[in-house]
Structure 1
Amino acid sequence: MSLPVRERAPRPGGGRHRRPVPTSLPPDAPMLVLAAPGSAEGVAAEIAAVVRVDNPQIEVRLSPVDELADSLPSGRDAVVVPLLTWDDPAVLAAIGKAVAASGSGAVVTEALGPHPLLAEALHIRLAERGLARADRVRLLNVSSPVDAVILVTVGGERAVHGVQATAVLLASRLTLPVVAASLDSEPGVQMAAQRLRAAGAQRLAISPCLIGHEAPADLVQQAAAAIDAGHAEPLGAHSAIADLVARAYGSQLAS
C-alpha cells in the first residue's frame, strides 16, 4: 500500500534560481514565454496554467519551440523559459535561433534542473507509486521499498551527463544509490540495472527525469518491464515545475 504523499509548500532554495517572482511588477515587466519542445498542448499547457494561477502578476505565453519566433512579442522584453530538466543543447540552440529570427530582445534562461526542488518532485512521484518513503524525516523507521533507483532521461550520453547532478540530489534525499541512464540509447537502462544488481541492489525503481513531452508515454513502462522494476510517473505539471519556472523568470528580473 502506498503511503500518503504530502507536498511541501514552496520555499526559498539554493541553486541557480534563487529568487521568486516579486508580488508586484511594473507595467512594462517582461512577458514570460514558456518554450515547449514538441506540442504546446497536454502537459505543457497544464504547466502554463499552474504558472498563471500562482503568478497572476505575470503575463504568461506558451509556445512550441518551432513556433517561438512568431510568439515572441515585438517591442517588448520577454523571458523565455525552456521546459527542460537539463540543458539540452539541441533544444537550446533551436530556441536561440528562434529568438534571433524574431528580432526581439528576449532573454533565454537555463533549464529547470538541476535543482533541489526538482529532486523533491522526483521523490514525490516515486512515493506516489509506493517506491519511496513519503517523508524521510517522519518515517525513518520504515524500510525502503526499493534498493536503488535508475533516473532515466532521453538523449544518450549527453543527456545522462546532464542529469547527473539531479541524480546526486535525489540519492541524497532517498539515501539510496541513484544511477542515471538513457531510455533511447546507451548508456541504457539494462546496463544500469546490471550494475546495480551486481552491487547487490535487487529491488529497482525507474524515476523519469522527464516533464512528459520528451518521450512516448509507454517508453518508461517498457523499460521498467524489461528489468522487472517499478516506475514513477513523469514530473508533469507538478507544483515544483511551476515554481522553478517562476524562479527562472525571477532570477532574470533580479539580474
Structure 2
Amino acid sequence: MTPRITGRPGSRLRLVAPDGGRRPAPTLVLVAHGSRDPRALATVTALAERVREQRPGLAVRLGHIELNEPLLTDTLAAQPSGRAVLVPLLLGRGRHVKRDLPAAAAGAPHLDVGAAAPLGPHPLLAEALHTRLVEAGWPPRPLGTAARRRHAVVLAAAGSRDPESAADTEAAAALLAERLGVPVVAAYAAPTAACARTVPEAIGALAGRGRTRTAVAAYFTAPGRFATQSADAAPWIAAAPLGAHPSLARLVLHRYDQACGTPSLAEQRRPTAV
C-alpha cells in the first residue's frame, strides 16, 4: 500500500527560532540534471510549479547540474542568506548526489544548505510509473492469470558507475513489480560495470521467457537522449518519463520535509568534538 503523504510539513519544531519566534521555512531548491532536449527544462519547470501549488507560500527555486540554466551554482549564489534545502530530481544515489551537491553547497558559504535524499526508490514513484504505463496503453485494470504470463516491463534508467545507484534502481523495479503483478527488469541506457544490462538485452531475455507484451517504463524525471533511446527499443509500448506527475511533487515535498529535520551539509562536515 502506498503510504499517505499529504505534502504538509512533518514537524513544526524546525520552524521555531531559539527565541521562540517563527523561523521562515528553508527555500526548496530543486536540482535537475539538465539536458539538451528542450522538453526537459519545460518539464522540470512545470514540476516546480506543481510543488508550489501543493505547498503555497514555500519558496521554490530551480537549479541544474549542467547543460541548462539556471545552473545550481548560480541559483545558490542569487539566494539571499538564510537556509536552503537541495532536493535532487535524481532517482538514486550516485556521483551527482554524493559529490556535485556538496560541492555546490560549499560554494555558497552565505547559505545554510541541507540536502535531501534522491527521490528513489519510493512507492510514489511506482505510482507515477504505473500511471505513465497506463497512459501509453498498459491495461488499466489488474491482469488476469493468463495475461500476467505474457506481460512484463523493462524499467529503463540512465545507469551509473556507483553500485548503490544500481541497487536503488533494482529496488524501484521491485516496487513496480509488486504493484503490477508482473516481472519488472531494470536495464540501462548507458551501461557500466555496475549497471551492465542494456534495455535491448532485457527485452530479449523477457521474450525468451515467453513475455510477448513487454513495455518499457521510463525511469527518468524528464525527456532526454536516454529516455528517447530507451523508448525506441520498445517492442510494444513505451511510457513517457515521470515528468510533473502529482505523485512526484508529493515526493519532492516529502524529501524536503525529511531533510529539514537533519543537519545541514556544513554541520555534517564539521569535525565532532572528542
Q: What is the TM-score with the length of structure 2 in the denominator?
A: 0.76
Gaps of 5+ in 2: 16-21, 263-274
Q: Give the superposition deviation at 1:254.
A: 3.8
Paired with 1:156 and 1:237, the residues of 2 have a C-alpha distance of 24
Query: Which residue identity does 2:26 align to in structure 1?
Result: P
Q: Give the superposition deviation at 1:252.
A: 2.2
Which one of 238, 244, 250 corresponds to residue 231 of structure 1?
Answer: 238
Query: Which residue identity does 2:152 align to in structure 1?
Result: A
Q: Name the residue aligned to 1:3.
A: none
Measured on the aligned residues, the alpha-carbon RMSD in Å equals 2.8
Paired with 1:23 and 1:68, the residues of 2 have a C-alpha distance of 27
Q: Name the residue aligned to 2:4.
A: 12
Gaps of 5+ in 1: 1-9
SS at match of 1:102: coil
Q: Name the residue aligned to 1:173.
A: 179
Which one of 153, 156, 168 corresponds to residue 157 of structure 2?
Answer: 153
35 and 53 in structure 1: CA distance in 2 versus 1, 3 angstrom threshold: same
Q: Give the superposition deviation at 1:157.
A: 6.2
Paired with 1:187 and 1:232, the residues of 2 have a C-alpha distance of 19
SS at match of 1:163: helix
Paired with 1:135 and 1:22, the residues of 2 have a C-alpha distance of 34
1:38 matched to 2:44: no
Paired with 1:254 and 1:54, the residues of 2 have a C-alpha distance of 20
Query: Which residue identity does 1:12 align to in structure 2?
Result: R
CA contact 1:12–1:19 (8 Å) conserved in 2: no
11 and 62 in structure 1: CA distance in 2 versus 1, 3 angstrom threshold: same
Paired with 1:180 and 1:165, the residues of 2 have a C-alpha distance of 9
Deviations 1:170-202 (A, max 9, x none): 000011001000012331012212221222222
Q: What is the TM-score with the length of structure 1 in the denominator?
A: 0.82
Paired with 1:85 and 1:173, the residues of 2 have a C-alpha distance of 18
1:203 matched to 2:191: no
Q: Name the residue aligned to 2:268.
A: none
Q: Give the superposition deviation at 1:144.
A: 5.2
1:221 matched to 2:228: no
Q: Give the superposition deviation at 1:217.
A: 5.2
Q: Give the superposition deviation at 1:143.
A: 4.2
CA contact 1:43–1:237 (8 Å) conserved in 2: yes
Query: Which residue identity does 1:184 align to in structure 2?
Result: A
Q: Name the residue aligned to 1:64.
A: 64
Query: Which residue identity does 2:245 align to in structure 1?
Result: H
Q: Give the superposition deviation at 1:28.
A: 1.8
1:118 matched to 2:86: no
Q: Give the superposition deviation at 1:142.
A: 9.5
Q: Name the residue aligned to 1:6.
A: none
Which one of 201, 214, 220 corresponds to residue 191 of structure 1?
Answer: 201
Q: Name the residue aligned to 1:245.
A: 252
Paired with 2:29 and 2:179, the residues of 1 have a C-alpha distance of 31
SS at match of 2:93: coil
Identity in percent? 34
Query: Which residue identity does 1:134 align to in structure 2?
Result: P
Q: Name the residue aligned to 2:116.
A: 109
The structure with the larger Rg is 2
Paired with 1:71 and 1:143, the residues of 2 have a C-alpha distance of 49
Q: Name the residue aligned to 2:136.
A: 129
81-90 vs 54-63, greater mean Cα deviation: 81-90
Q: Give the superposition deviation at 1:53.
A: 1.1
Paired with 2:220 and 2:182, the residues of 1 have a C-alpha distance of 20
250 and 91 in structure 1: CA distance in 2 versus 1, 3 angstrom threshold: closer
Which one of 76, 81, 103 corresponds to residue 75 of structure 1?
Answer: 81
Deviations 1:190-223 (A, max 9, x none): 2212221222222211001111155355313322
173-182 vs 58-67, greater mean Cα deviation: 58-67
Q: Give the superposition deviation at 1:129.
A: 1.5
